Structures are given as C-alpha cells and as structure tokens.
Amino acid sequence: DVVMTQSPLSLPVTLGQPASISCRSSQGLEHSDGNTYLAWVQQRPGLSPRRLIYRVSNRDSGVPDRFSGSGSGADFTLKISRVEAEDVGVYYCIQGSYWPITFGQGTRLEIK
Amino acid sequence: EVKLLQSGGGLVQPGGSLRLSCAASGFAFTSHAFIWVRQPPGEGLQWVSLINGDGDGTYYADSVKGRFTASRDNFRNTLYLQMNSLRVDDTAIYYCANVVGTGVWGQGTTVTVSS
C-alpha cells in the first residue's frame, strides 16, 4: 500500500498568518491515465470531513480561495494564505491513484 | 444536490452484527468507487473498506478483514457495510465517502460496541 506521510502533525498558527502542510507519498502518484489523484480533506471539530482540493490543485465548490494545493510526483503541499478561526480542525491528504486509497495521519491546525 | 445519506448504526454487544447503509443521490452512482472510513472517539480517520463501481472489487483494512463486508445495490444507489463479530475497538463514527470523484461524504453514523 502507498504510505502517506504528513508534516507537521500539529500546526499552531496566528490568525491572519499563512500555514502550510506537507504530504509525501511512498511512490509517485501519477496514474496511468495521466491524472494525479491526490486530495486534501478538512475535518472541523464535531463535523463530517469535507474535501477541499482534488487532483492536487483543484478547489472544490465553495472552498475559499485562501486554500491552495500544489505539488507533483510524491511531494504535495496544502497552503492557507491567511488563517481564519473557521480553519481550525484536522487536515488529511488522501491518495486515490493506487488502490487501496490511503490517508495521511492528519495535521491538527490550531490558533495560537 | 450531491448527497450521501447514512443510516444504521447503534449500540451492539461484542460479537454482534450491524449493517450500515449509505444512500446516494444527485450524481451517477454506478460510475464511482466508494470508501468506508471510521473515526474512533478522540482519534483520526481510519480507512475501513473500498468498493469499486461494479461492486465486484473490494478491499479491507487488516483490522476488519474477514468480519466486514462491503456491497452495493446499483439499482437502489445504495452502499452497505455488513459488520459481523463486532469488537469493542470497532466503536467509532463510520462515514461513507466518494473521495476521488464527487468528494461527497456522508453525515456519519455512530457504532458503539459495548456489553
């Protein structure tokens, strides 16, 4: 199975400051169809998870443009340009290029 | 509206069984693979099972292999997770999701295994 490794696991951030989460996979995630199935999911406290980004850098409908995804191969990043209070929660990277789908350990974002 | 509506779950004794359901609406159900994910109290998300679009391909986490069975009814646009031989450490909120395609997640359903 593809191993997904996130860092940091805990991310204290001051309101209005940027934040960045890294996700590395144990092998490159480019699928044979040419797509890279790497997604980012947010779970706010007490709520169901919500996908923010799909195929590395595409924002889902309704996701604020302060969220952006980038990367290629086996190295990916989720960036928040200016953290807001509603961004508190746990962020997971998920790969879907190789079955079974696998998750990172999660990064807990908190406000300093 | 793209939606996954979950049902089932509840309190069951160790060794018991439960079946979870996940009804899809608003998108082409048969085109998509789905996953089941769980979240034990105070912990992160754990992948449980994956089922392909036709329902003839399934994968399971080692912790549930041989006890859980994922299936789907492509006429009813519904997923199922049959959970047998339940253990205390299966206690969790269970989610169904279409992570790669639509990105939609179910609202979650609580399974509590306790005597």
> Residue type for A72, please?
S
Among the partner residues A43, A94, A105, nearest to B99 by beta-carbon distance: A94
Phi, psi angles (nearest 5°) of residue A53: -135, 140
Among the partner residues A48, A51, A94, nearest to B108 by beta-carbon distance: A48
List of chain A residues whose C-beta atoms are within 8 Å of the C-beta of residue B106: 48
Task: Check CB contact of B97 with chain A, cutoff 8 Å.
Answer: yes
Quick one: pLDDT band at residue A57, thresholds 50, 70, 90? very high
Work out the angle at residue A89's Cα, subtended by the Cα atoms of residues A88 and A93, and round it to the nearest 5 degrees: 125
Query: For every residue of A20-38, which 3-state class applies, written as one string?
Result: EEEEEECCCCECCCCCECE
Among the partner residues B59, B97, B105, nearest to A100 by beta-carbon distance: B59
**Do B7 and B94 contact (CB within 8 A), yes or no?**
no
Q: How many CB pairs under 8 A join A and B?
A: 49
Cis peptide before A100 (omega within 30 of 0): yes
Q: A10 versus B30: which is more confidently predicted?
A: A10
pLDDT at A4: 97
pLDDT tens-digit series, residues A75-106: 999 999 999 999 999 999 999 999 888 999 99
pLDDT at B41: 94
pLDDT at A78: 98
Q: Which of residues 26-55 of B touch A (CB under 8 A)?
A: 35, 37, 44-47, 50
**Percent of chain B residues topping a pLDDT of 90:** 84
pLDDT at A100: 85
Q: Which of residues 22-51 of A touch B (CB under 8 A)?
A: 37, 39, 41, 43, 48-51
Q: What letters, b where the CB count within 10 A reaches 16 and e where it falls short, cover B19-31? A: ebbbbbeebebee
- Residue B111 bridge partners (DSSP): B10, B92
pLDDT at B31 over 90: no
pLDDT tens-digit series, residues A32-47: 999 999 999 999 999 9
Quick one: pLDDT band at residue B101, thresholds 50, 70, 90? confident
Q: Which of A48, A59, A90 to mutate to test the interface with B (most CBs of B within 10 A)?
A: A48
Q: What is the mean pLDDT of chain A?
A: 96
pLDDT at A3 over 90: yes
Quick one: pLDDT band at residue B38, thresholds 50, 70, 90? very high
pLDDT tens-digit series, residues B58-97: 999 999 999 999 999 999 999 999 999 999 999 999 999 9
- What is the average per-residue pLDDT within A4-22? 98
Task: Check CB contact of A105 with chain B, cutoff 8 Å.
Answer: yes
Among the partner residues A50, A60, A92, nearest to B45 by beta-carbon distance: A92
pLDDT at A80: 98
